[in-house]
Structure 1
Amino acid sequence: MNRGGTEGLVAAERLPPHDLEAEKAVVASLLVEPEAIYRVVTIVSPEDFFRDEHRWIYEACRDLWQRGEAVNQVTVAHELARRGLLEQAGGTAYLSQLVAELPTPLVAEHYARIVQRDSVYRRLLQAAQEIAQEAYRAEDPDIARVLARAEARIAAVRQVQEVRDFVHLSEVLEGWQKTQAALTGPVAAEARAITTGYMDLDTLLLGGLRRSELIVVAARTGLGKTSLLLNFARNAALRQRAVVAIFSLEMAAEQLAQRLLAMESGVDSARIGSGVISDRDERLIARALTRLSEAAVYIDDSPVLTVAEMRAKARRLQVERGLDMVMVDYL
């Protein structure tokens, strides 16, 4: 009984993940080596530092660099003093201590990645705490909405990514060769682009809609953007057995389904909506219903969704069903 209480106390007092030595090494590297800022600034942001004084020093270094001024102990101390933070950051003595204790500035990126990684862990803990608090309160009767918010919080943590760096052309070409080889290999179905169903458009797109690409369909209101996207979805799902997710922020799922039914059956959408249809139309609609029911098209018509929520829902669909294409109507 007492042991359990002690373990609970230790857990409650445990600090979130952080590495003060790595934080010191990052800011010290900036004070010693002028070129270190170029290697570090794309990896960490001020919010990634656990200790306030390290965050203040990093901000001062970054802002000096952005203004094109020299970054060293003297200029950083002056910048901190100008902001009224020099004494709170430990004074000039602490800046000198950081420099004296720095092992080497040559691997500043390594230190920066440690700081950034621990920052992600802390964000994950914060998200988990918020999820747990909402679960304990149990105030929202719509559990699906609660799960969506939880997934959105986790997705927001995932969005913290390192900026990509330069890649030599040879590496890009090597990746291209692997992609081309996959188009004729045993994983061809996963690597090949998804065709739109419009031959001329597929030609312009160099084969169709390629995975990982973001394509924006733009036109004035009422010119058929939604209809075109639905045709893309229908062709992909029926002809290529692709799994398609549609986020419809403007039109209800039933309206989209009716449009898809009209496209597949060839029966005018207005007649389907009014219910005034002939026997022949009924047969066409029945056959279209059978074909569309087998299509892996998933529609979410939530009127208000954040990007994080859409990403969370898409990831869940990817895990549960697989996912080849995501459409958002509209941005």
Structure 2
Amino acid sequence: MMSGGGNINDVPAPGDLPSPPEPQGPSRKTVSSKSGSSAVPVYADIDTERAVIAALMIDPSCISTVVSILGGLASAQPPQDGRRKKAAADPENLKKEMFRNLAGMVFHDLKYAAIYEAILEMTDKGIAVDILSLTSHFERIKRLDVIGGQDFLIDTQAAIASTANIESWCVNLRDYAMLREMIRTCSGALDMCKNFPGNIKSLLDSVESEIFKVRNRFVQPEIRELRTLLEETFQTFMDVIDRKIEPGLPTGYPVDHLIGGGLKPGEMFVLAARPSIGKTAMALNIVRNIVMKDIGGIRKNVLFFSLEMSAEQVTQRMLCTEAKVPLSSIMDRNLKPGDIQQLTQAISRMKDAHLFIDSTAAISVFELRAKARKINDQQKLDLIVIDYLQLMKSGEPAGNESRQVEVSAISGGLKKLAKDLGVPVLVLAQLNRELEKGQSAKALPKLSHLRESGAIEQDADVVVFLHRNRDDAKEQNPEANRAGVEAKLIVEKNRNGKTGIVELKFFPALMEFRTIEHRYSDSDRSPEGKPAENTPK
């Protein structure tokens, strides 16, 4: 890419100034190549760069707004290679190098980059910023003539009449800087693709990681003032009390009373159990309770990542549970009168559900987050469900790290996803075999039984165990299908609420968990086709 009439390879390192400076072409226009046969766009808005510098010279208090959008020392990148070691020996030199890198990244015109670097350095030292102090600064470092002298500073300050639009100018500058960094990153990715070592998955993860670094470099965490947060928090409390909003996304089970009203945005919920206890069934029951009805007057959007089953298998389970028709009856061609009608009625009801299913096996945390962000941009997600954590990959290049380290990275990535998107993330997880070794059948799971990593319990806001006697739920047991099998939801960790146990009934033929308080309706029947009984389930 050419910029201002020269090849990008000829541009000095960030912060270094040409001598003498070449005239800058018009902003947002194209420049011709040497042959005159083509034109290359300048990915910058020089007028806006001039306006931002002028605003800082006219009103130095604008620095807080500028730094909050464009970044200051906290977001500056440290020098690399030998320059980093040399600078690290002197904290002041390290600061200067980081300011220089930041200014060179944000400003395309090297003169304005040098002025912004000087303003950052002077502000950090508590020196007032104006034409005289800037002139003195550049004279001291022998660069005043390189930027165009004091006349250039005076002309720059006179470029605007007001600083009222400083915020929009900074956003514009940040977007162009991000675009330029993306171009550099993608150029590097192209080179990586041409010389990839043969592991295509590792290559994809590396490219994706570099792209995420560009985003994280420019998107700064929002710093909030307590006074504003208190007002917003009190208003939220009043809306909950007046039933204008729900405190969380209700699961449809009494566990909501323990976890503060349901699944809350930005939090990570872990549902863990041993194999064949019913983790997936429980997750799909929760999803069905959410997507099959209006909550707060609207249908909620749920994204379900199924690493163990195909999208078709997930759909089969949900349809049979909703229709109250055992899947085994369909596969055995042993349908009862009315089963087809119940299936078609269930399909009609489920067509209004906003559920998205991704069945990618062994998905990496990077790929999962990218897919979740894409769906969330198209239509705001209300819940993300992952079945299950131990089947995921971290996405980091293969090394000597243990599986525990990899699971820790996955868990941390999922927690970050919940916070970044502001949605609850329900993560299914397996328990290790220690629960079944040398203990009675009544032994309950503990946090230490979470398989492969203690980081799961640390990252999770809520940890719930699903527990029951696996042998009681064999499908050939008529009593299990008629009256249900006793099961428990154990809230073992709750960062913002209570812990406790919720009693449930599990119906294996329908793969459905129900609350003890549930009573059959007139339209319900048992899986064997017997008349419904008004008994707890």
Superposition TM-score tier, normalisation by shorter sequence = 0.5 to 0.7
**Is residue 56 from structure 1 mapped to residue 85 from structure 2 by the alignment?**
yes
Q: What's the secondary structure of 1:217's corresponding residue? A: strand
Q: Which has the larger radius of gyration?
A: 2
Partner Cα separation in structure 1 for residue 87 and residue 3 of structure 2: 36
Q: Percent identity?
A: 29
**Is residue 251 from structure 1 mapped to residue 309 from structure 2 by the alignment?**
yes
Q: Quick one: which amino acid aligns to residue 10 of structure 1? A: G
Could you tell me how far 1:206 is from its partner in structure 2?
A: 0.7
Q: What's the secondary structure of 2:357's corresponding residue? A: strand
**Correspondences of 1:150-165 after superposition (within 5 Å):** 154-155=211-212, 157-159=214-216
Residues 49 and 185 of structure 1: is their aligned pair in 2 closer, same or farther, counting only changes over 3 Å?
Answer: farther
Could you tell me whether the CA contact under 8 Å between 1:261 and 1:289 is conserved in 2?
A: yes
Instruction: Indicate the residue corresponding to 2:382 in structure 1.
Output: 324
Could you tell me whether the CA contact under 8 Å between 2:307 and 2:388 is conserved in 1?
A: yes
Could you tell me how far 1:121 is from its partner in structure 2?
A: 6.7
Partner Cα separation in structure 1 for residue 352 and residue 178 of structure 2: 41
Residues 106 and 291 of structure 1: is their aligned pair in 2 closer, same or farther, counting only changes over 3 Å?
Answer: farther
Could you tell me whether the CA contact under 8 Å between 1:258 and 1:269 is conserved in 2?
A: yes
Residues 243 and 102 of structure 1: is their aligned pair in 2 closer, same or farther, counting only changes over 3 Å?
Answer: closer
Give CA-to-partner distance per residue, 1:78-134, whole Å, 9 cap, x none: xxxxxxxxxxxxxxxxxxxxxxx9535457xxxxxx9xx899777533443367779
Instruction: Indicate the residue corresponding to 1:143 in structure 2.
Output: none
Partner Cα separation in structure 2 for residue 131 and residue 185 of structure 1: 53
**Is residue 103 from structure 1 mapped to residue 103 from structure 2 by the alignment?**
no
Partner Cα separation in structure 2 for residue 178 and residue 233 of structure 1: 29
Could you tell me whether the CA contact under 8 Å between 2:205 and 2:366 is conserved in 1?
A: no
Higher relative contact order, structure no. (Cα contacts within 8 Å, ≥ 6 residues apart): 1
Residues 177 and 148 of structure 1: is their aligned pair in 2 closer, same or farther, counting only changes over 3 Å?
Answer: farther
Could you tell me whether the CA contact under 8 Å between 1:219 and 1:225 is conserved in 2?
A: yes
Partner Cα separation in structure 2 for residue 126 and residue 178 of structure 1: 45
Q: Quick one: which amino acid aligns to residue 194 of structure 1? A: L
**Is residue 194 from structure 1 mapped to residue 213 from structure 2 by the alignment?**
no
Structure 2 residue corresponding to 1:177, chosen from 226, 234, 248: 234
Gaps of 5+ in 1: 22-39, 62-70, 74-100, 108-113, 137-146
Using structure 2 for the length normalisation, give the TM-score.
0.39
Q: What's the secondary structure of 1:327's corresponding residue? A: strand
Instruction: Indicate the residue corresponding to 2:371 in structure 1.
Output: 313
**Correspondences of 1:147-296 after superposition (within 5 Å):** 154-155=211-212, 157-159=214-216, 172-181=229-238, 183=240, 193-198=248-253, 200-240=254-294, 241-296=299-354
Could you tell me how far 1:259 is from its partner in structure 2?
A: 1.2
Gaps of 5+ in 2: 18-70, 94-119, 127-169, 195-203, 390-537
Larger strand proportion of the pair:
2
Could you tell me how far 1:287 is from its partner in structure 2?
A: 1.0
Could you tell me how far 1:196 is from its partner in structure 2?
A: 0.3
Q: What's the secondary structure of 2:339's corresponding residue? A: helix
Could you tell me how far 1:223 is from its partner in structure 2?
A: 1.6
Partner Cα separation in structure 1 for residue 89 and residue 286 of structure 2: 51
Could you tell me whether the CA contact under 8 Å between 2:301 and 2:354 is conserved in 1?
A: yes
Using structure 1 for the length normalisation, give the TM-score.
0.59
Q: What's the secondary structure of 1:279's corresponding residue? A: coil
Residues 133 and 105 of structure 1: is their aligned pair in 2 closer, same or farther, counting only changes over 3 Å?
Answer: closer
Residues 181 and 151 of structure 1: is their aligned pair in 2 closer, same or farther, counting only changes over 3 Å?
Answer: farther
Partner Cα separation in structure 2 for residue 316 and residue 274 of structure 1: 40
Q: What's the secondary structure of 1:216's corresponding residue? A: strand
Q: Quick one: which amino acid aligns to residue 370 of structure 2? A: A
Residues 298 and 267 of structure 1: is their aligned pair in 2 closer, same or farther, counting only changes over 3 Å?
Answer: same
Residues 323 and 154 of structure 1: is their aligned pair in 2 closer, same or farther, counting only changes over 3 Å?
Answer: farther
Number of residue equivalences: 253
Partner Cα separation in structure 1 for residue 215 and residue 365 of structure 2: 12
Q: Quick one: which amino acid aligns to residue 55 of structure 1? A: R
Residues 128 and 297 of structure 1: is their aligned pair in 2 closer, same or farther, counting only changes over 3 Å?
Answer: same
Could you tell me how far 1:8 is from its partner in structure 2?
A: 9.0
Q: Quick one: which amino acid aligns to residue 180 of structure 1? A: F
Q: What's the secondary structure of 1:303's corresponding residue? A: coil
Partner Cα separation in structure 1 for residue 320 and residue 7 of structure 2: 60
Partner Cα separation in structure 2 for residue 297 and residue 49 of structure 1: 44
Could you tell me whether the CA contact under 8 Å between 1:18 and 1:119 is conserved in 2?
A: no
Give CA-to-partner distance per residue, 1:159-191, whole Å, 9 cap, x none: 5566788x77656533422433555899x56x7
Q: What's the secondary structure of 1:208's corresponding residue? A: coil
The answer to which of 234-243 and 269-278 deviates more is 269-278
Residues 287 and 6 of structure 1: is their aligned pair in 2 closer, same or farther, counting only changes over 3 Å?
Answer: closer
Partner Cα separation in structure 2 for residue 163 and residue 42 of structure 1: 14
Q: What's the secondary structure of 2:356's corresponding residue? A: strand
Q: What's the secondary structure of 2:313's corresponding residue? A: helix
